[in-house]
Amino acid sequence: EVQLVESGGGLVKPGGSLRLSCAASGLTFSNAWMTWVRQAPGKGLEWVGRIKSKADGGATDYAAPVKGRFTISRDDSKNTLYLQMKSLKIEDTALYYCTTGWIFVAWGQGTTVTVSS
């Protein structure tokens, strides 16, 4: 069974930085395309970005609201996905999920990021 465990969330001031992690097990992580999805309080799901497997080039894609501020990376030796967030804005406040593959089969429980002064 695939398990995803996000961590690293917390309270940060506007303009600050935070790095989220997603530890994966139960899958061949190096072969997996991984995605971050977020959900602002009381709102719907929003795609943040994804990273392809190294075998498929390892490229990243980002949603327009986070492009240039967020960076997705992976450490296949640790089966871990990362989301480096910089220049955080109040509107980045959300529950951040990591999920797998093209069709988002497995999801973690999420980690909460609160951007507030």
Partner 1 sequence: QSVVTQPPSASGTPGRRVAISCSGGSSNIGANPVNWYRQLPGAAPKLLIHSNDQRPSGVPDRFSGSKSGTSASLAISGLQSEDEADYYCAAWDDSLKGVVFGGGTKLTVL
Contact yes or no for 88/14 (Cβ under 8 A): yes
Q: What are the C-alpha distances in Å from 82 to residues 21, 43, 97, 116, 117?
A: 5, 23, 11, 22, 25
104 binds partner 1, rule: CB under 8 A: yes
Please state, in angstroms and rounded to a whole number, the distance separating the CA atoms of residues 71 and 86. 9
C-beta closer to partner 1: residue 44 or 77? 44
The phi and psi torsions of 91 (rounded to 5 degrees) equal -75, 0
Give me 48's structure tokens: 């943040």
Taking contact as CB under 8 A, which single stretch among the options 15-23, 25-33, 81-89, 96-104 is the one that binds partner 1? 96-104
Task: Point out which residues pair with 73 in neighbouring strands.
Answer: 82
C-beta closer to partner 1: residue 9 or 16? 9
Taking contact as CB under 8 A, which single stretch among the options 13-21, 24-32, 73-81, 98-106 is the one that binds partner 1? 98-106
Binding-residue pattern over the window 36 to 55 for partner 1, x denoting contact by CB under 8 A:
-x------xxxx-xx-----
The site for partner 1 (CB under 8 A) is made up of 35, 37, 44-47, 49-50, 61-64, 97, 99, 103-105, 107-110
